[in-house]
Copies of this chain bind each other. A is one copy, B any other.
Amino acid sequence: MPRPRSEKARQAVMSAMRRALAEDSYAAVTIEGLATEAGVSKQTIYRWWPSKAAVLGEALLEGELPGSDAVVPTTDDLAADLRAWFAGVSAGQGDMVGIEVARALIAVTATDPELGLVLNERLAAPIREWVKTRLRQAVADGDVREDVDADVVADHFIATASYAALLGQPLSEQRVDAVVQMVMRGIGARD
C-alpha cells in the first residue's frame, strides 16, 4: 500500500507547479526543481504522481486555469471576433498556456482518461460559453442562421486548436483566416 499523502506536502507541490508555470516554460519544469521548490524529496513526488504531466493535471484541476479568464473583445463584426479569439487560443495565450502545456494536457488526457475528461470539460467550458453568447448576439443581429449549433462551432475551434497543439504546429494566421471563413460561410445567414 502506498503511504497516504500529506496534504501539506501535496499543496506545496501544487503551488510549486503553478509558480514554475508562471515563471518558466512547462518544458523547463523538472521533478527535481518542483521537489526543491516544494521542500519535499523527489521520491515523495514520484510516489504520488506517475509523471510531471500528472502533477500539472492536478494543479490545473485545483487552481485557476491559465487562460480561462482571457478577455475577448466583442465588436459588431462576428468574423473579426472569432478570428481574434481563435488566434489567441491557437497562439497559446502567451507564456502560460503554450504548446507545451497543451501537449501536457493532452498527454494527461490520453493516459488518465478520467482526469483528462474533467480537465477538458473545465478548459472547454469558458470557450463554449463565449461562443454561445457571441452567437446568440449574432443571431439577434441577423448575421447567423437561427438554427446554428453553438456546440458544433465551439467544438470545431477547440478540436482544431487541440490538434494543432498535439502536433506542435501552431496555426498560421492564414489558416486561422481560412477556418473562420469556412465556419462563417457555414453558419452565416443567407444573403
Q: 30 A–B contact pairs at CB < 8 A?
A: A104-B110, A106-B106, A106-B110, A107-B107, A109-B166, A109-B167, A110-B110, A110-B166, A113-B168, A116-B166, A116-B167, A120-B166, A120-B167, A149-B178, A152-B178, A152-B182, A155-B160, A155-B163, A156-B156, A156-B160, A156-B179, A162-B162, A162-B163, A162-B166, A163-B163, A182-B183, A182-B186, A183-B186, A184-B186, A185-B187
Tell me how many chains of this kind the complex includes. Answer: 2
| Across the A-B interface, the 10 shortest Cβ-Cβ residue pairs | A186-B186, A107-B110, A159-B163, A182-B186, A159-B159, A185-B186, A106-B110, A152-B178, A159-B160, A103-B110
Contacts of A155 in B (CB 8 A): 160, 163
Cβ of A153 < 8 Å from any Cβ of B? yes
